[in-house]
Structure 1
Amino acid sequence: MDFDFSEEQGLLRDSVTRALADAYPSLERRQARIAASLGFPEEGWRSLAELGLLGLPFAEDDGGFGGGPVETMIVMEAIGRTLAVEPYLASAVLGGTALRLGADATQRARFLPGVIDGSLRLTLAQTERQSRYDLHDVATTARRDGDGYLLDGQKCVVLNADAAGLLVVSARSAGERRDPHGIGLFLVPADAAGLSIQPYPTQDGGRAAEVSLSGVRIGADAVLGDPQNGLPLLARTVEHGIAALAAEAVGSMEALHALTVEYLKTRKQFGVPVGSFQALQHRAVDMMIALEQARSMALYAAMMVEAPDAAERAAALAAVKVQVNKACRLVGQEAVQLHGGIGMTLEYIGAHHFKRLAMIEYQFGDTPHHLRRVAEDGGLIAA
């Protein structure tokens, strides 16, 4: 099987790598960008739009560029290598996937032009305090009110909610709290009456928020698809998020491994570089093996995330998350150990890669959660 990029994909890789490297040449420049009011500079977001990256996942008929999971993987790897803080995952991947797969023609025509040109940012609000990683555990309610709905509930750890103009909110229109049926996805403007957003910085330099909905009224035209059968759409959206995170993790681990190897070559002990010690060489090789295994799984995720069989797709993405999570932990911890004391100092870029990898390990499901899902699905290969 040929895993080489096409000419167009190679050009995309080169352009996005160059653009983000110019925007994030140092840790000091990254920290300055994080200090902006929304956690990233508006000019950085506009530059992503000018490069066409915000329209990359959307069909040409909707004004996008017709890219697929491989193109998203290329962008997310570059984001991981540079630790870029622009909310590409929240808006283009998560919110964008929900719109791309669930919106009707009218909704796409209304919202996608703004998403593509950067004037409208999206985010996905689906996590609740009690839900942990279970997408079907939804206590937020959507009650019929005339020709629309009233939304009430709480969402937590909503990525970049304070920068979003439109939130994709999961809410229950029927059934009990953990019923798979009765869940819908609703488009809620950030300035809607009754919506409260409490933002905060996350450990990895990003931003998230607690979102409260108290009698938030939306029209019937704000529903994505079936208001009682939205769980499959939510699952597909999160699967695209997992595939994107796998690629981002590969980019970050690649950068962290390169930093570690360079440090082993320059740090001297007993008059020689510490990289000349065989035991440390073996540990650097272990990091490389984990990185390459994660890269393979990121490619597998890009291949499987749009597979038509839902069960096969879910098992594949769960397996991807297991392997990538393990690699994030091994590469991050080994990098800290091989760097010694400097590996945990916030003045060193390696520590920030470690923090981001630690966050990725728990986004959309930790290792035990996804390992259990793989086991329940009978593994990737039938017995």
Structure 2
Amino acid sequence: MNFDLYEEQQLLKDSAWRYGADHGDFTAWRARADRGEAYDAASWRQIADLGWLALNVPEDDGGLGAGPVETMVVAEAMGRYLMLEPFVSTGVIAPVLLAAATESVRADLSSGLIEGKVVISLADAEPGGRFDLNRIATTAEAVDGGFRLTGEKSHALDGGSADWFIVPARTAGADDSADGVSLFLVPADAAGLTVMRSRAMDNRHNASLKLDGVLAPVETLIGGLGKGFPLLRDAVDRGVVARLAEAVGAMDAVREMTLEYLKTRKQFGQTLGAFQALQHRAVDMAIACEEARSMMYLATIALSGAPAERRKVISAAKARVGQTSLYVGRQAVQLHGGVGFTEELAVAHYLKRLIMIDMAFGNADHHRTELATSLKPGAIAA
């Protein structure tokens, strides 16, 4: 697929890759992970200074109002250099949702988001909900001055370091209905909110939430009452495509590491790359990377299309990139041999990141099912 960038987009990509190369030292990365740091605070501030966090913030709120392509090129660099900074949660998903918030909320949070002073996480999943975004049992009961939130959230991306959470809750309808879903902005220190922090295998600091009568004032409602699901769906779709770009960046990086290893590691008196069987596996890895890149481009373009068609394309892309990314990551580890499983080598960490990206917002199996369902005659996308 031919996907030429405009001059400004190419400059952004060059800048992101240059930043990653200058700050992507793996030894320093491991040291931060061993210390239990969610991300490098200094790097987060520099990312904000580069304008990455302003990309998806509307111009009226002080942002750049950029499009999906700009997000894609930055997210690809994030994946290539294994950056832990919460770009997708705070720089992609949160701005899409905050654009529908009240003027006072946007005034309070947009500048802090752009400057890297706040981290905002979407609590997107619930216990027993699997990957179905519309399965929301958390309730929001109307009370004087606002709503009282009660329920549990099993996953909030980068929630371990979040200052604010965006919480989908049900104000009407059945637990699996797309109707009656409302979105609320909740501070991490809200009374009645318990944040259970955890570290995933890829060293991302996520969280699960328990809401025990958390009071959400009326002004924290995002979008219309009971009409938050289309907005939630749009934000998550954009987050999914950004994660696909991360996967493509990580795939390219780990493939290049593997090729370099095959060219230098010797066995039986010759380099591993001299063995034809391993050459074939290296070619298969390259083909898988190109497949994933093409699907990433297609999904990025689809973000500008109609919601129903967009969902089909994104599900197809998520399924295929999930397959190809895990293939490339596993091949990289296998071709490195026993050392590929060690903490000291980057390829093992790239594989862990690719596994977690595949799981994010639904794994390949889930999205194959979503795609098959959407293609049935008479099927209506949520």
User: Could you tell me which residue of structure 1 aligns to residue 3 of structure 2?
Assistant: 3
SS at match of 1:180: coil
1:221 pairs, out of 205, 211, 219, with 219
Q: Are the equivalent residues in 2 in contact too, given 1:49–1:118 (CA < 8 A)?
A: yes
SS at match of 2:156: strand
User: Could you tell me which residue of structure 2 aligns to residue 50 of structure 1?
Assistant: 49
| Equivalent-residue separation in structure 1 for 2:240 and 2:362 (angstroms) | 9
User: Could you tell me which residue of structure 2 aligns to residue 95 of structure 1?
Assistant: 94
Please report how far the alpha carbon of residue 176 of structure 1 lies from its aligned counterpart in structure 2 after TM superposition: 2.2
User: Could you tell me which residue of structure 2 aligns to residue 249 of structure 1?
Assistant: 247
Please report how far the alpha carbon of residue 2 of structure 1 lies from its aligned counterpart in structure 2 after TM superposition: 5.5
User: Could you tell me which residue of structure 2 aligns to residue 346 of structure 1?
Assistant: 343
| Equivalent-residue separation in structure 1 for 2:137 and 2:272 (angstroms) | 54
1:175 pairs, out of 159, 173, 176, with 173
| Equivalent-residue separation in structure 2 for 1:68 and 1:281 (angstroms) | 39
Describe the superposition over 1:72-100 as per-residue Cα deviations: whole angstroms up to 9, x where unpaired.
11111111111001111111112222113
Q: Are the equivalent residues in 1 in contact too, given 2:101–2:220 (CA < 8 A)?
A: no
| Equivalent-residue separation in structure 2 for 1:347 and 1:310 (angstroms) | 44
1:355 pairs, out of 345, 352, 356, with 352
Describe the superposition over 1:215-245 as per-residue Cα deviations: whole angstroms up to 9, x where unpaired.
1101111111122121111111111111001
Please report how far the alpha carbon of residue 266 of structure 1 lies from its aligned counterpart in structure 2 after TM superposition: 0.8
Task: Return 5+ residue gaps in structure 2 as ranges.
Answer: 377-382
Q: Are the equivalent residues in 1 in contact too, given 2:183–2:221 (CA < 8 A)?
A: yes
Q: Which amino acid aligns with 1:240?
A: R
1:310 pairs, out of 307, 311, 317, with 307
Q: Give the alignment's TM-score, normalised by structure 1.
A: 0.95
Distance 1:36 1:149, change over 3 A: farther
| Equivalent-residue separation in structure 2 for 1:185 and 1:61 (angstroms) | 22
Q: Are the equivalent residues in 1 in contact too, given 2:102–2:219 (CA < 8 A)?
A: no
User: Could you tell me which residue of structure 2 aligns to residue 276 of structure 1?
Assistant: 274
Q: Which amino acid aligns with 2:50?
A: L
SS at match of 2:142: strand
SS at match of 2:304: coil
Q: Are the equivalent residues in 2 in contact too, given 1:38–1:162 (CA < 8 A)?
A: no
Task: Return 5+ residue gaps in structure 1 as ranges.
Answer: none
Please report how far the alpha carbon of residue 61 of structure 1 lies from its aligned counterpart in structure 2 after TM superposition: 2.1
Please report how far the alpha carbon of residue 155 of structure 1 lies from its aligned counterpart in structure 2 after TM superposition: 0.8
Please report how far the alpha carbon of residue 38 of structure 1 lies from its aligned counterpart in structure 2 after TM superposition: 4.6
User: Could you tell me which residue of structure 2 aligns to residue 107 of structure 1?
Assistant: 105
1:136 pairs, out of 134, 137, 158, with 134
Describe the superposition over 1:339-379 as per-residue Cα deviations: whole angstroms up to 9, x where unpaired.
11111111100110011111111111111211111112228
Over the aligned positions, Cα root-mean-square deviation in angstroms equals 1.6
Q: Are the equivalent residues in 2 in contact too, given 1:95–1:167 (CA < 8 A)?
A: no
User: Could you tell me which residue of structure 2 aligns to residue 17 of structure 1?
Assistant: 17
Q: Which amino acid aligns with 1:311?
A: A
SS at match of 1:152: strand
Q: Which amino acid aligns with 1:39?
A: A
Displaced runs of 4+ in structure 1, greater than 6 A?
Answer: none
Q: Are the equivalent residues in 2 in contact too, given 1:54–1:92 (CA < 8 A)?
A: yes
Q: Equivalent pairs: percent with the same residue?
A: 44
Describe the superposition over 1:137-188 as per-residue Cα deviations: whole angstroms up to 9, x where unpaired.
1111100001300001111121222322211101111122112211111111
Q: Which amino acid aligns with 1:355?
A: K
| Equivalent-residue separation in structure 2 for 1:209 and 1:35 (angstroms) | 19
Describe the superposition over 1:180-223 as per-residue Cα deviations: whole angstroms up to 9, x where unpaired.
21111111111211111111111011111121111110111111
Q: Are the equivalent residues in 1 in contact too, given 2:139–2:170 (CA < 8 A)?
A: yes
Describe the superposition over 1:243-285 as per-residue Cα deviations: whole angstroms up to 9, x where unpaired.
0011000000000000111111111112111111111111111
| Equivalent-residue separation in structure 1 for 2:129 and 2:139 (angstroms) | 14
Q: Establish whether residue 322 from structure 1 lines up as the match of residue 319 from structure 2.
A: yes
Distance 1:95 1:36, change over 3 A: farther
SS at match of 1:126: strand
Please report how far the alpha carbon of residue 136 of structure 1 lies from its aligned counterpart in structure 2 after TM superposition: 1.1
User: Could you tell me which residue of structure 2 aligns to residue 368 of structure 1?
Assistant: 365
Q: Which amino acid aligns with 1:193?
A: A
Q: Which amino acid aligns with 1:152?
A: T
| Equivalent-residue separation in structure 2 for 1:179 and 1:265 (angstroms) | 54
Q: Which amino acid aligns with 1:56?
A: L
Q: Which amino acid aligns with 1:331?
A: V
SS at match of 1:93: helix
Q: Give the alignment's TM-score, normalised by structure 2.
A: 0.95
1:184 pairs, out of 182, 185, 188, with 182
| Equivalent-residue separation in structure 1 for 2:236 and 2:188 (angstroms) | 21
| Equivalent-residue separation in structure 2 for 1:77 and 1:183 (angstroms) | 32
User: Could you tell me which residue of structure 1 aligns to residue 379 of structure 2?
Assistant: none
| Equivalent-residue separation in structure 2 for 1:174 and 1:57 (angstroms) | 30
| Equivalent-residue separation in structure 1 for 2:134 and 2:205 (angstroms) | 25
Distance 1:16 1:180, change over 3 A: same
Q: Which amino acid aligns with 1:217?
A: L
SS at match of 1:132: coil
